[in-house]
């Protein structure tokens, strides 16, 4: 028998030993959520519930395997019959037995993202859309629209209107492609990942015998990270638990930060409305952070109106207070972060136990540069290194052509961005411009359009328009040139090709601001070349050594470090100005701030610049994040001094 009183705290024991019924477990950051779920499953098996009558739905297979392995260790027996895994894994098991009810064969195939993209591109052709005319999104962008519509249960026309307004004039064609995609999947006996969830719910809703079979079979249903579920997932769990109503959902409403993926915050908030008889448990004992860090996090999240009230309490003894670090500008912020990392490391904290967190990937640009200059090894969790991203290298290639018209590699990279221009065609165009003494002038001639096959003419015309705009702006300022590239066609290319076009455009706007610090385009390109060269030299060594982690807050959820430095804690950066336009945007941004602060175990630094450089306007004042300003309302000391003199001690 497991000694629960020895292994668990009173809050956790209450959850684990509860007999059944609908249970809502609000598990605060660092409160032992996974441990509680693991012991709950072990308890159910221990009291005689057959493993095959338990379903445990998680968001990663790794999480499920870890919990189930631990359960087997605790109870000393095999639980192979238990259904444990991701929602998609459980959907797949169900559909393999009943796909014929929905017009599929049971031996259906599952499309990965690349397969789905190719099939959608085929559907675009089959519907008869002319890719040479007005702009039309590529297959993966259309796929993202369809996926968002499925996961949020919003009509596709509304998804296009709200999230992709620049394609609103092609809505009818996008809807036609989606319809053709559905038909083709059935004809080919294939499903994509969204189909697994959508069709699982369809199966349970449309066929009473199937729903009754699974609802009767699963005596207990447990769901991890419930705050991240979408409407489909919540509906499925309700249907599967509809017979016995032993549905236990575990999550933290204060860590619901994935609405952009379709996660529905209302699922966890309205659980008591759907199950009026549910019992609510709160895990508020935090094993991760110091009392000082938790005090700040608790103060911040209290400003959200729509939440389950809770207060994290530390098990650990007192530590150092969080540090509020206003800096003169963005460059000094990067310098402060790099210097503090070295000092923390010298005090005995491994580099791998230090993280720099930020709201958006482009916020890390100056920090990446400063760490590179100082030889501090780091790894990026929010994507690839800023200057090595495809869209940064694309725009840099345009600039390289302006400086060096004989840069064959840059020419071919830029040409390859345009429709119907592959490697062979790009080579033909390069030979045409390189034979002329002034390649720039060659691009602006009428003969340029005819230097490649007719299929490439539309793409060459688009390139020519951008190139003409660059020559027409009569400037050697890299920031003006980058903005010109964006306005004269590259923004359209981003929207057509990428599902995250908005964040890529944010990157490029910041890239333009950064370039304003350089007196000439040549100086700017030289600096970039030196930085990327240093990166390549250090790459092999970094693999073998400890590295500082640079991560977006979204990627950092569920992780922890001894020391966390949060940068760009400024209004417009967190909360991100773009996110505030979304319904419930401010509260979700505050939850992001809360998630970031609760990643820190021992030390927390909140950094922000007092000024930022904007092209043509010089250094402009920057306000601290409203989430920092809110903390001042708890202190008369802070209210009496300018915010650049605040100390966390004031709170």
- Only one residue has tokens 């690349």, namely 114
Angle between helices 208-217 and 231-240 (to 10 degrees): 70
Distance CA 95, CA 560 (A): 37
3-state secondary structure of 356: strand
Taking alpha carbons only, the member of 12, 11, 10 closest to residue 43 is 12
Listing DSSP states for 559-588 in one string gives: --EEEEEE---BTBBTTBTTGGGSTTHHHH
599, 602, 603, 650: which is the annotated catalytic residue? Answer: 599
Is residue 506 flagged as an active site residue? Answer: no
33, 53, 163, 557: which is the annotated catalytic residue? Answer: 33
195, 225, 238, 589: which is the annotated catalytic residue? Answer: 225
489 Rama class: left (phi>0) / alpha (psi -120 to 50) / beta: left
Distance CA 523, CA 513 (A): 15
Is residue 571 flagged as an active site residue? Answer: no
Distance CA 253, CA 26 (A): 7
Q: Are 187 and 193 in contact (CB under 8 A)?
A: no
Distance CA 352, CA 331 (A): 24
227, 229, 255, 372: which is the annotated catalytic residue? Answer: 255
In 246-294, where do the E strands start and end? 247-251, 279-283, 285-286
**Around 581, how many Cα atoms within 13 Å sit in the side-chain half-sphere?**
5
Is residue 224 flagged as an active site residue? Answer: yes
192, 194, 195, 224: which is the annotated catalytic residue? Answer: 224
- Only one residue has tokens 């057509």, namely 496
Is residue 255 flagged as an active site residue? Answer: yes
| Length reported for the chain | 651
- What secondary structure letter does DSSP report for 623? P
Residues with active-site annotation? 33-34, 224-225, 255, 599
């Amino acid at each position: 028998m497991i000694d629960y009183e020895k292994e668990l705290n009173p809050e956790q024991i209450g959850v684990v030993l509860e007999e059944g019924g609908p249970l809502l477990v609000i598990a605060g950051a660092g409160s032992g959520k996974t441990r509680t779920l693991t012991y709950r499953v072990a308890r159910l098996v221990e009291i005689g519930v057959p493993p095959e009558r338990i379903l445990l739905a998680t968001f990663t297979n790794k999480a499920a395997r870890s919990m189930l392995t631990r359960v087997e260790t605790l109870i000393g027996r095999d639980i192979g019959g238990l259904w444990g895994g991701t929602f998609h894994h459980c959907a797949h098991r169900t559909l393999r037995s009943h796909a014929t009810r929905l017009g599929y064969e049971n031996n259906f195939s599952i499309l990965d993202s690349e397969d789905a993209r190719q099939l959608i591109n085929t559907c675009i052709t089959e519907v008869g859309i002319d890719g040479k005319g007005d702009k039309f999104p590529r297959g993966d962008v259309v796929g993202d629209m369809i996926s968002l519509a499925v996961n949020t249960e919003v009509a596709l026309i509304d998804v296009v209107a709200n999230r992709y307004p620049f394609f609103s004039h092609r809505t009818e064609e996008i809807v036609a492609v989606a319809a053709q995609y559905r038909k083709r999947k059935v004809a080919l006996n294939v499903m994509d990942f969204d189909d697994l969830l959508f069709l699982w719910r369809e199966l349970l809703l449309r066929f009473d015998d199937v729903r009754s079979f699974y609802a009767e079979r699963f005596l207990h249903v447990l769901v991890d990270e419930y705050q991240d579920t979408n409407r489909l997932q919540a509906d499925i769990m309700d249907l599967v638990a509809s017979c016995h109503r032993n549905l236990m959902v575990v999550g933290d409403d204060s860590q619901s930060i994935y609405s952009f993926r379709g996660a529905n915050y209302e699922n966890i908030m309205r659980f008591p409305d759907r199950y009026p008889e549910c019992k609510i448990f709160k895990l508020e004992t935090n094993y991760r952070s110091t009392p000082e860090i938790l005090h700040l996090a608790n103060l911040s999240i209290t400003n959200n109106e729509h939440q389950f009230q809770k207060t994290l309490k530390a098990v650990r003894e007192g530590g150092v207070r969080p540090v509020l670090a206003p800096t003169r500008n963005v460059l000094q912020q990067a310098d402060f972060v790099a210097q503090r990392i070295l000092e923390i490391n010298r005090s005995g904290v491994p580099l791998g136990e230090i993280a720099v967190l930020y709201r958006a990937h482009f916020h890390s640009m100056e920090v990446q540069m400063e760490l590179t200059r100082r030889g501090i090894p780091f790894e990026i969790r929010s994507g690839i290194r800023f200057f090595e991203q495809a869209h940064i290298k694309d725009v840099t290639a345009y600039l390289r052509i302006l400086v060096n018209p004989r840069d064959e590699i840059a020419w071919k990279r830029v040409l390859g961005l345009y429709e119907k221009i592959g490697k062979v065609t790009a080579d033909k165009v390069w030979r045409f411009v390189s034979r002329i003494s002034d390649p720039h002038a060659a691009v602006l001639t009428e003969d340029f359009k005819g230097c490649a096959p007719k299929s490439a003419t539309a793409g060459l015309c688009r390139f020519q328009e951008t190139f003409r705009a660059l020559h027409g702006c009569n400037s050697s300022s890299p920031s003006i040139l980058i903005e010109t590239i964006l306005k004269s066609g590259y923004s359209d290319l981003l929207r057509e090709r990428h599902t995250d076009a908005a964040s890529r455009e944010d990157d490029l706007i910041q890239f333009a601001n950064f370039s304003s610090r350089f007196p000439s385009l040549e100086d700017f390109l030289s600096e970039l070349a030196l930085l990327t060269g240093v990166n390549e030299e250090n790459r092999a060594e970094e693999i073998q050594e400890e590295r500082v982690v640079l991560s977006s807050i979204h990627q950092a959820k569920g992780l922890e470090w001894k020391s966390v430095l949060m940068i760009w804690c400024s209004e417009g950066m967190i909360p991100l100005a773009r996110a505030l336009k979304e319904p419930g945007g401010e509260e979700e941004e505050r939850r992001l701030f809360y998630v970031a602060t609760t990643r820190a175990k021992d030390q927390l630094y909140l950094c922000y610049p007092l000024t930022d450089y904007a092209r043509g306007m010089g250094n402009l004042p920057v306000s601290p994040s409203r989430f920092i300003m809110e903390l001042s309302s708890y202190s008369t000391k802070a209210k009496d001094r300018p915010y650049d003199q605040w100390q966390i001690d004031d709170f």
